[in-house]
Structure 1
Amino acid sequence: MATLRVPEVVPSPSEDAEQLRKAFEGWGTNEGLIISILAHRNAAQRKLIRQVYAETYGEDLLKALNKELTSDFERIVLLWTLDPAERDAFLANEATKRLTSNNWVLMEIACTRSSHDLFMVRQAYHARFKKSLEEDVAYHTSGDFRKLLVPLVSSFRYEGDEVNMILAKSEAKILHEKISEKSYSHEELIRILTTRSKAQLNATLNHYNNEFGNVITKDLEADPEDEYLKLLKAAIQCLTYSAKYFEEVLRLGINKMGTDEWALTRVVATRVEVDMERIKEEYYRRNSIPLDRAIAKDASGDYEKMLLALIGHVDA
């Protein structure tokens, strides 16, 4: 489901490193050359380029990019060049900082990565920040948000397709009871959402819908102003159908008065190698305009070129 367009014959990492070095030298940076290389290499290839670059030039490629680039273009290139687990660790850490704190980013990483990927994020976090992700999330959140987010970022779900229908039935009933009582942060509700496999959750929520005549997210719309409820609803969406969630983040990010470049950059950098095709389909279905057209109308310059190249726009 990835959109990344990698050439049939990929130059060696040392050729790529050499070309990048050239892009930084001389008068002004050659942004086009940077895009033509980095936007067309997969995670494993980018990792090798970074290794070779460091060995050859005694400098981290990220540091060089940081020196040469600016603003939104710099952010998308740096996020993209990072190893996926490092990138998520960086985004999660940023989300726990006072000025950029964002419970949504934490929830998104916890709910849309596979168990193994989330485990790798926790390891990368540990290595880079000398603390655990759980520790920082617990410190930065409070109340119901903490009750939900700490177990979400700590979870290690079963990834297979095995489903227990009897359990799905009984847990759908528990969820319905708690929601009817408005006990939205009840430990049983949180236990089910933060520990069950995605397949099991889907079975439970299908049962919920059939048995109680409403999809669970509808029942969570009780108080549209409640930030915790919004987050809880989004977590369920991320766990069950993440493309729909990411479409919404992009739609809101692009159609705001002034673009939310942070959201746009994050979704593109983190989903290109995962499910961007599905997100693009969802975007078109919902907005009757292809995502690349929406981005081209909204972004500009090298930032726009990098985004379009990443989402597989043919001319990029």
Structure 2
Amino acid sequence: MWISSSFIYIIVDDDASGKMYVGFGTDEEAVISVLGHRNANQMKKIRETYHQLYNESLIDRLHSELSGDFRLLVGLVSSYRYDKEVVDPEAAMLEAARLNEAINKKQLDHDDVFWILSTRNVFQLRATFAYYKQLYGNPLEQDIKNCGKGDLESLLNVIVCCIDCPEKHFAKVVKDSIWGLGTDEDSLTRAIVTRAEIDLSKVEVEYAAMYKSSLEDDTSGDTSGDYRRFLMTLLGK
């Protein structure tokens, strides 16, 4: 367990490693990283384990910590995504059109947007995102960015990235953690620990493609001592 501040998050990755990681999140992006691509079974375990550990409802805690547009995060943890790897192409096309309509009207807080992102399974959403690009020429993230630079736009882009290409999201988290003076150890630890037994090799490949450098070398160069050895062990070095 590692501690930062704010509110608790629990990561359950039983489908990949059978292990549970418990920690504390410091911001909305951390919560999205945890919740954005979980299936219904994992969400249920997260809620149950949180209640067992802290004797309070995770939904109630999120409601008390978050406000406004960030209520979508409550939807992510309280929703019941379909677990099956089922894709309905017709629904994907229709929902791509709904997302495009919301973007054109600059109504990113529309209930349709929240409902699509918080209830559809990962495979269905990836199909919707693919149809969106095919039909409207731009990736969904780009059109969301064109709507503005507010909290909601940032929130939605992180959610879309986590669902569509989690390895790209975590590669960016690592880079942002070590960029500039000092190291954001909480974010760096979260990114590497939570992906270590899932898709860390994919994160490394994506990192190299995005930044033309090695995740291992950059992480090693920005850390030291036992902390560096810990991360290098997780990286298999």
The alignment's TM-score, normalised by the length of structure 1, stands at: 0.67
User: Contact 2:37–2:122 at 8 Å: present in 1 too?
Assistant: no
Aligned equivalents of 2:161, 2:21: Cα separation in 1: 25
Runs of 4 or more above 4 Å deviation: none
The answer on 1:119 being equivalent to 2:54 is no
Task: Report what 1:182 is aligned to.
Answer: 106
CA distance in 2, matches of 1:133, 1:158: 21
Asked whether the equivalents of residues 32 and 159 of structure 2 are also in contact (C-alpha less than 8 Å), the reply is: yes
Distance in 1, Cα, partners of 2:89 & 2:122:
14
Contact residue 103 and residue 147 of structure 2 kept, 8 A: no
- Following superposition, the deviation at residue 219 of structure 1 comes to 0.4
SS for the counterpart of 2:62 is: helix
Matched, 1:260 2:188: no
Q: How far has the Cα of 1:84 moved from its partner?
A: 4.4
Matched pairs, number: 223
Residues in 1 aligned to 2:38 and 2:194: alpha-carbon distance in whole angstroms? 10
Aligned-pair distance for 1:288?
2.1
* Structure 1 residues 74-113: aligned runs within 5 Å: 84-87=19-22, 90-91=23-24, 95=25, 100=26, 102-113=27-38
Q: 1:210 to 1:234 in 2, by over 3 A?
A: same
In 2: Cα distance, 1:175 partner to 1:224 partner: 15
Q: Which has the higher contact order (CA 8 A, sep 6+)?
A: 1
Q: Distance in 2 between matches of 1:109 and 1:132?
A: 17
Q: Is the Cα contact below 8 Å between 2:173 and 2:187 reproduced in 1?
A: yes
Aligned to 1:282: 206
Cα 1:261–1:275 shift into 2, 3 Å:
same
Structure with bigger helix share is 1
Q: Which residue in the other structure is 2:55 paired with?
A: 130
Q: Which amino acid aligns with 1:103?
A: E
Deviation at 1:116, TM superposition (A): 2.4
Contact 2:95/2:128 (8 A) holds in 1: yes
Compute the TM-score of the two structures, normalised by the length of structure 2: 0.88
Aligned-residue offset at 1:117: 2.5
- 1:145 is aligned with what amino acid? F
In the TM superposition, 1:1-316 aligns within 5 A as 84-87=19-22, 90-91=23-24, 95=25, 100=26, 102-146=27-71, 148-222=72-146, 225-313=149-237
Gaps of 5+ in 2: 5-17
Q: Are the counterparts in 1 of residues 50 and 58 from structure 2 also a CA contact under 8 Å? A: yes
Partners of 1:228 and 1:169 in 2: CA distance: 24
Contact (CA 8 Å) 2:36, 2:76: kept in 1 or not? yes
In structure 2, what is the Cα distance between the partners aligned to 1:251 and 1:230? 17
Name the structure 1 match of 2:14: none
Cα 1:85–1:185 shift into 2, 3 Å: farther
Larger Rg: 1
User: Aligned-pair distance for 1:224?
Assistant: 5.2
User: RMSD across aligned C-alpha pairs, in angstroms?
Assistant: 1.9
| Residue of structure 2 equivalent to 1:40 | none
Q: Which runs of 5+ in 1 are unaligned?
A: 1-61, 72-82
Deviation at 1:223, TM superposition (A): 5.0
How far 1:190 moved relative to its partner?
0.5
Structure 2 distance, partners of 1:214, 1:242, is 19
